[in-house]
Structure 1
């Protein structure tokens, strides 16, 4: 996946994740924070990681599996990616 270093969308997702993880670390050091608020932050991180995974899978499919193929069924690919995002 040598092309990923050029993908600003993916890099920005990773930076946001870093910020979210740092926020959880900070919250854990504050005794006044409730468990529920920390769990909510972790749930948000989980969703963000799933989103990142979907982006990486889609990028891999487009760059390494499909590549330059002209005979792909774009509608079928779009349906597959939508399904992947829903359940992945």
Structure 2
């Protein structure tokens, strides 16, 4: 299995975990659970989505913005990745 395929499978697994978390929110709402519990589940989903977005953005920056013909220097790309990760935490 290629590195790209492994990365793709990791992203798909992450999406499936997020889907499970969203399903847990629905079950919690149907049961009428306490608002604090629902809010905690929502925060977990938000964290998962932000983490997934950061990963996809990092891959995009690394693969498409730092190619040989790109004008974006590698050190600037790394700074951009750090900024994205900090913003999405």
Aligned to 1:13: 14
- Tell me, which stretches of 5 or more residues in structure 1 are unaligned? none
With CA pairs under 8 Å and 6+ residues apart, which has the higher RCO, 1 or 2? 1
**CA contact 1:27–1:38 (8 Å) conserved in 2:** yes
Aligned residues: CA RMSD: 2.6
**CA contact 2:11–2:52 (8 Å) conserved in 1:** yes
**CA contact 2:21–2:45 (8 Å) conserved in 1:** yes
Count matched residues.
Answer: 85
- Tell me, which stretches of 5 or more residues in structure 2 are unaligned? none
Q: Aligned partners of 2:18 and 2:51: how far apart in 1?
A: 11
**CA contact 1:17–1:49 (8 Å) conserved in 2:** yes
Aligned to 1:25: 26
**CA contact 1:4–1:10 (8 Å) conserved in 2:** no
**CA contact 1:10–1:52 (8 Å) conserved in 2:** yes
**CA contact 1:5–1:11 (8 Å) conserved in 2:** no
4+ long deviations beyond 3 Å: 3-6, 71-76
